[in-house]
Amino acid sequence: MKQSLFQITENVHLTENVMRMRLKGDTNAITASGQFINIKLDGLFLRRPISVCDCEGDTVTIIYKVVGKGTEQMSKMSSGTLDILTGLGNGYDTSLSGEKPLLIGGGVGVPPMYLLAKKLIGEGKDVSVILGFNTKNEVFYEEEFKALGCKVGVTTVDGSHGTKGFVTALMENTDYTYTFCCGPEPMLKAVFNTSKTSGQYSFEERMGCGFGACMGCSCKTVTGYKRICKEGPVLCKEEILW
Amino acid sequence: MVNTKVDLCGITLDNPIIPASGTFGFGYEFAELYDINILGTFSFKGTTKEPRFGNPTPRIAECSSGMINAVGLQNPGVEKVISEELPKLKKCFDKKVMANVSGFSVDEYAYTCEKLDKCEQVGWLEVNISCPNVHGGGMSFGTDPEAAYEVTKAVKSVTKKPVILKLSPNVTDIVAIAKACEKGGADGISLINTMLGMRIDLNRKKPIIANKMGGFSGKAIFPVAVRMVYQVSSAVDVPVIGMGGVSCADDVIEMMLAGATAVEVGAQNLVDPFACKTIIEELPKAMEKYRIENLKDIIGAAHNG
Ligand SMILES: Cc1cc2nc3c(=O)[nH]c(=O)nc-3n(C[C@H](O)[C@H](O)[C@H](O)COP(=O)(O)OP(=O)(O)OC[C@H]3O[C@@H](n4cnc5c(N)ncnc54)[C@H](O)[C@@H]3O)c2cc1C
Ligand SMILES: Cc1cc2nc3c(=O)[nH]c(=O)nc-3n(C[C@H](O)[C@H](O)[C@H](O)COP(=O)(O)O)c2cc1C
Ligand code: FES
């Protein structure tokens, strides 16, 4: 973990409520996809945890949905610096993926899949991605995943873009050796039940610190109590207790 | 050169800064960030007789200038704290540590304290009496002078280490509780623990915290803490450790003027992991600014005149 100042170099809308921010600073503590950063914002007591979407050289990319006070404040920043804790959480372990990993992201669970896909492609894997959204206007990053060289399927709940339904609708006809998943809990559970392979699933919890000090984010697993911020947010399929 | 040393129940602290229980784990998350030997000492996570998972999540809610937590004393139990956590701590902390103890009956407090009494690394026992008494209809030990007295006496009888009773602010008369602890033999009093609070999610229209209520702490509670430290330190003869909303060197000085011999820092460690390091570095500058040479000379100075 590292605490340092980052310079905002970009903050743009991807959809009406989802924005992408690029930040320049010391990225050395970021060692894996699926990790997160914890952002201090003026006037707000707790930091805001956001997944690393991409990390290249000294630039971190995050994608966030505007849902409350903190993300609202972030959406209005076009420049300036942010106090950020980086290198938080365990992240995805790509060594378990087999030759044909399947990556599934729902809504703002999509961002961490991007750096993961990039790493897996870099390792020469045959990567399939399923992106799930509610409706056409909420879709983002379909082209970016294609540009990495992934096979990309998109589902929307109302059928306005891609396949109608949930991400699980596309799993049946995909050939895969392993499952990586991030999204709202009902989606994680549906994928968990549908997936025929082992996998890694990323969880969310309200956090006091984000670095293991407060026990605010604990969950029970097959292998004992874990802190989502420290031993998580990524849990292996075999250890998850719903 | 200013002098930041203070004496806490017979042990000299290099400075009065003590990370508060529950916000510093067993030290090593922070030892990765800075040398924690610069601290006066720290109070480790509230330890109970049996291991505890604690409350269901969500356990955390944000507030204006503070937070609510309902962790519910998650800890590995005193056995493992002694066999696993303390040996790990030894590798990164050379000083005496403050052992924070919780319990749900007088016997449990005594049991846990007796075990920790045998540990060389432990300098003080900080007994958190904000927990519900299972034999007392769930009422917290810290809200009943009689129960507070009983716990203090029981703990004192099993240890030679200094015993510091940590008080809950959720009472009408904090002085009565402090005096009961002193009568029971307490070597010190620390306060305040968190204040009972609640936040409600406007979308879900339900409390944010699974446990509904939780403990409110952070900057926002500082004035309440200063007031209680002032009241208690003028009513008891034992040293008082002040805490509640401390976030900078000026707050430390204010707490000491109110009567604190040492000062704990809680929630601020969670949002700024370097909070205690920064405070320790800024303390000498703040002392010069307020023309203080010897920090221990200002303890309770606000009571004079
Ligand atoms: C490990 C992790 C990774 C995340 N990655 C992303 C991401 O890549 N993109 C994205 O859009 N969102 C992500 N989230 C969710 C994001 O943290 C929340 O949407 C954000 O904190 C909301 O802040 P706010 O001030 O706008 O909302 P408010 O509701 O005003 O926040 C109030 C408090 O609740 C907390 N909170 C609210 N919603 C959540 C939530 N879903 N999870 C955890 N805490 C919450 C806030 O952090 C804050 O402490 C992630 C959460 C976690 C735990
Ligand atoms: C997440 C969290 C966990 C805590 N756990 C304990 C505990 O185990 N034992 C204890 O005596 N106090 C515990 N406390 C209370 C603090 O030690 C401190 O008394 C209180 O938070 C007030 O200080 P602050 O405003 O600086 O946080 C906890 C506080 C927080 C925020
Ligand atoms: S958020 Fe504090 S331990 Fe995970």
Q: Which amino acid is at B19?
A: P
Per DSSP (E only), the strands in A109-177 are 128-133, 151-156, 163-164
Q: Domains (ranges, CATH) in chain B?
A: 6-303 (3.20.20.70)
The DSSP call for residue B168 is: P
pLDDT digits (tens, 9 = 90+) for B256-283: 999 999 999 999 999 999 999 999 999 9
CA nearest B62: which of A89, A204, A215, A68? A68
Q: How high is the mean pLDDT of chain A?
A: 97
**Owner of token pair 């396949």:** A163
Of A80, A230, A157, A23, the C-alpha closest to B28 is A230
* Rg of the Cα atoms in chain B: 18
d(CA B250, CA B98): 24
pLDDT tier for residue B138 given thresholds of 50, 70 and 90: low
Encode pLDDT of A74-104 as tens digits. 999 999 999 999 999 999 999 999 999 999 9
Mean pLDDT of A57-69: 98
Signed CA dihedral, B53, B54, B57, B62: sign only = negative
A71 Cβ inside 6 Å of ligand 1: yes
- pLDDT value, residue B137: 66
Q: Tell me the CB-side half-sphere exposure of residue A190, using CA atoms within 13 A.
A: 18
The C-alpha atoms of residue A34 and residue A93 are separated, in whole angstroms, by: 9
Contact B255, B229 (CB under 8 A): yes
- What is the rounded CA–CA span in Å between residue B238 and residue B64? 34
**Diameter of chain B measured on Cα atoms:** 56
| Nearest beta carbon to residue B271 from set A1, A45, A225 | A45
For chain A, where do the domains classified as CATH 2.40.30.10 start and end?
A: 2-88
Does any CB of chain B come closer than 8 Å to the CB of residue A47? yes
Across B3-22, average pLDDT: 98
The secondary structure of B83-136 as a DSSP string is: IIIHHHHHTT--SPEEEEE--SSHHHHHHHHHHHHT-TTEEEEEEE--SB-GGG
Please, which pLDDT band fits residue B126 given cuts at 50, 70 and 90?
very high
- Mean pLDDT on A7-30: 98
Q: CB of A149 within 8 Å of any CB in chain B?
A: no
A228: closest chain B residue by CA? B57
Where in chain A are all domains bearing CATH 3.40.50.80?
Answer: 94-202
Q: How far apart are CA A229 and CA A217, in angstroms?
A: 7
CA distance B177 to B181: 6
Question: What is the C-alpha separation between B42 and B34, in angstroms, rounded?
Answer: 14
pLDDT exceeding 90 applies to what percent of chain B? 95
| DSSP letter, residue B157 | T
| Of the listed ranges A29-38, A189-198, B60-69, B130-139, the one predicted with least confidence | B130-139
CATH number attached to the domain at A94-202? 3.40.50.80
Distances (CA, A) of A217 to A136, A210, A212, B168, B209: 33, 8, 9, 24, 12
E strand map for A81-136:
81-88, 101-106, 128-133
> Which H/E stretch holds residue B68?
strand B66-69
Res B211: pLDDT: 94
- Is pLDDT of B233 > 90? yes
**Phi, psi values for residue B83, rounded to 5°:** -85, -25
Q: Of B54, B177, B168, B46, nearest to B112 (Cα)?
A: B46
Q: Any idea how long chain A is?
A: 242
Q: Do A225 and B53 touch (CB under 8 A)?
A: yes
CB contact under 8 A, B74 and A215: yes
Global ipTM: 0.94
Length of chain B in residues, anyone?
305
Q: Is the pLDDT of residue B37 over 70?
A: yes
Determine contact: B64 vs chain A, CB below 8 A: yes
- Residue B273's SS3 state is coil
Q: What confidence tier does A190 reach under pLDDT thresholds 50, 70, 90?
A: very high
DSSP tag of B298: G
Please determine, looking at this structure, whether the domain spanning A2-88 carries the CATH number 2.40.30.10: yes
- pLDDT at residue number B132: 74
Contacts of B269 in chain A (CB under 8 A): 209, 213
- pLDDT computed for residue B131 by the predictor: 77
Q: Stretch A16-30: mean pLDDT, rounded?
A: 98
Is any ligand 2 atom within 6 A of the Cβ of residue A208? yes
Over 90: is that where the pLDDT of B304 sits?
no
Q: How many CB pairs under 8 A join A and B?
A: 91
B262-265/B17-19 β-pairing: parallel
Q: What pLDDT is recorded for position B305?
A: 64
Q: How confident is the model at residue B92 (pLDDT cuts 50, 70, 90)?
A: very high
pLDDT band with cut points at 50, 70 and 90 for residue B1: confident
Is it the case that residue B188 has pLDDT exceeding 80?
Answer: yes
| Per-residue pLDDT at B216 exceeds 70 | yes
Location of structure tokens 């969880």: A203
C-alpha A208 – ligand 2 centre gap (Å) = 12
**What are B295's two structure tokens?**
């920090």
Q: Which of A40, A206, A230 sits opposite B271 (nearest CB)?
A: A40
A73 touches B at CB < 8 Å: no
Cβ <8 Å between B62 and A45 = yes
Mark A14-27 as b/e (b = at least 16 C-beta within 10 Å): beeebbbbbbbbbb
